[in-house]
Amino acid sequence: MAIQKLPIELLDGICQHVLPTDLVSLSQTCSLIYPVTQRLLYRHVSVSPLSRNLSVVVTLAKKPEIAHLVRSFSINIDSYSTLFHSFYRQLGIALSSMTELTSLEVFVDSSASWVLNGTQNATFPQLLHFACSFSFDTQVANFLSKTCALLELEVDSIPTLHTPSLPPLPWTSIPRLIQFIGSSQAAKAIVPGRPVESIHLSSGDLTKSIVDSFAESTARIVVLGATTGLLPVPLLELLAQHLPHLVYLRIMTTYKFSEAPDVVCLFVVDLAIPFFTFPFQVFYENVAKALATLPELTAFELSGMHWGSRKRSDDNEKRVWQSKPLSSEFSHDQEEGSPVDFNPSSNYFLAY
């Protein structure tokens, strides 16, 4: 049978098993196969100086019909690489034609958010994931208004001189957002009124006003990672009041509290020296009691210290939190067959 008589679906299935380097050669053999190979070659594009493929950006800018085939695009330019203004201009042109994207990652010069201006006449109805090195400025806000299906958003946590204040974000923008990664200031502007379930603050302080704004999410927030200057116990009580459905919680504290042990003291506690154990144990017990006020919480980390828990045998809905960081001693004290419920390799934790 002549290749011209083969259905396009069969050609597509065959080409999917061909290595990318061979696809390039195959694309030059037949005009019928060319569009099939182009669709596969440019479906997922990753650009970086290390890969020596920066010229792909120029190709996509000059051939919008090829840029339209891209489904995921990632560009990562490290701080040691210097690119001319003309390259970023070509990047902006290329992005304006990638209207069928489902994933976009742009990690370039943080002051080059203007490349998104080229997309002002385009929409991205299929985009689900967007991550960038840009701070949350006007260009980013305008781009987000064109991504009605976006589920995951990551913006840079370091504000620049070009963004003295956060731009307004209409409530109609990113109405389906589920996951946010970025600064506490950007989170305060983005989370309210949207169904955000997972938040990781990569910079900024988790304060009471920030927690209050998180309570305005239209969905239950189940994952939270942040740095705070608040004391652990008052913070946990605050979270229990405003975010009672937390399942995974990771907190780094900058508060200099005297009753909490450092690494050396933890070693002393492990040696079970009674003189040092008591004041530290009080701190741990207070944290454990505060954790109990979060009924759905299953994993907690405080500045690198992990707390384990188990369900009570008399009440499947309540958990007992150990009164010090994760250790084998806690599991020895519980009933056989009831191990501490903690999974540090969980996808929720790995996301951070």
pLDDT value at residue 155? 93
Using alpha carbons, list the distances in angstroms from residue 157 to 203, 240, 266: 6, 26, 33
> DSSP readout, 107-122?
ES-TT-GGGGGGGTT-
pLDDT value at residue 307? 83
> DSSP readout, 156-199?
-SS--TT-SSPPP--TTSSTT--EEEEEHHHHHHHSTTS---EE
Cα gap 10→7, rounded to integer Å:
5
Using alpha carbons, list the distances in angstroms from residue 120 to 55, 130, 131, 174: 24, 16, 18, 16
Over residues 100-143, the pLDDT tens digits come to 999 999 999 988 999 999 888 899 999 999 999 999 999 999 99
**DSSP three-state, residue 72:** strand
Cα gap 85→38, rounded to integer Å:
28
Residue (of 86, 80, 44) closest to 62 by Cα position: 86
DSSP helix, strand, coil percent of the chain (3-state; round to 5) = 35, 20, 45
Over residues 22-80, the pLDDT tens digits come to 666 666 667 666 666 778 788 899 999 998 999 999 999 999 999 999 999 999 998 77
Give the residue ranges of the chain where pLDDT is below 70.
1-29, 31-36, 157-164, 255-281, 312-317, 323-352
DSSP collapsed to 3 states, 7-60: CHHHHHHHHCCCCHHHHHHHCCCCCCCHHHHHHHHCCEEEECCCCCCCHHHHHH
Torsion of Cα atoms, 72 then 78 then 81 then 87, to 10°: 30
With tokens 């960038």, the residue in question is 132
Cα gap 24→26, rounded to integer Å:
5
Report the DSSP beta bridge partners of residue 315. 312
Cα gap 318→5, rounded to integer Å:
65
pLDDT value at residue 167? 82
